[in-house]
Structure 1
Amino acid sequence: MLDIQTHMDFAGQGKAERWSRFIITFFGIVGLVYGAFVQQFSQTVYILGAGFVLSSLITIPPWPLYRRNALKWQKPIDTDAKSSSSESGDEGKKKKKQ
């Protein structure tokens, strides 16, 4: 089946944030200049909206460039073995107290 990754690592989140800010700022400046040139504020809004859509397509999905610094998780502790050893230890402690 498909192995679709649905997460970003911490460094990837920072990279996505920087890209998003850069793209929206760039499109905002270009839209403002173009809108002032043609004397249409609606053109500024359309260009800024296009920047938002482009930024969303680039930064929201967890592309592989945002998953390069994966965390190495520790292996889980076997709770069955731990609980059986702690039960036998608890019984010994109870007997000593009496």
Structure 2
Amino acid sequence: MPALQELVEGRIDFNGQKKADDIVRVVLITSTLLSFVVGFTLSSLKITLSTFALSTVALSLVVLPPWPMFNKHPVKWLPSQEHNPKSKG
């Protein structure tokens, strides 16, 4: 079970999240416009939807896996401190 969790977890840093978000925003807007133009030019709703679906699948392959480019600036957490609850008296 831990191996499966490691495979699915996909850790990326905050800069990687911003980069992935920027990529998603640009590609979705571009692919929407491109799909509309291609579909309108060819007068085919089927081509419009298939072009958009293909670009969405390609986008998913780019941003969903935790590629190393999304984890170039890993977060350095502070070391944990032991907490000893002692009553003051």
TM-score tier (shorter): 0.7 to 0.9
Superposition misfits of 4+ residues, deviation over 6 angstroms: none
Aligned-residue RMSD, C-alpha = 1.8
Does 1 or 2 have the higher relative contact order (CA < 8 Å, sep 6+)? 2
Matched, 1:14 2:14: no
Matched, 1:48 2:52: yes
1:74 corresponds to: 78
Give the count of matched residue pairs.
84
Per-residue deviation, 1:12: 0.7
The one-letter code sitting in structure 1 at the alignment partner of 2:41 is F
TM-score, normalised on structure 1?
Answer: 0.74
Structure 2 regions of 5+ residues with no counterpart? none
Greater radius of gyration (CA): 1
Structure 1 regions of 5+ residues with no counterpart? 94-98
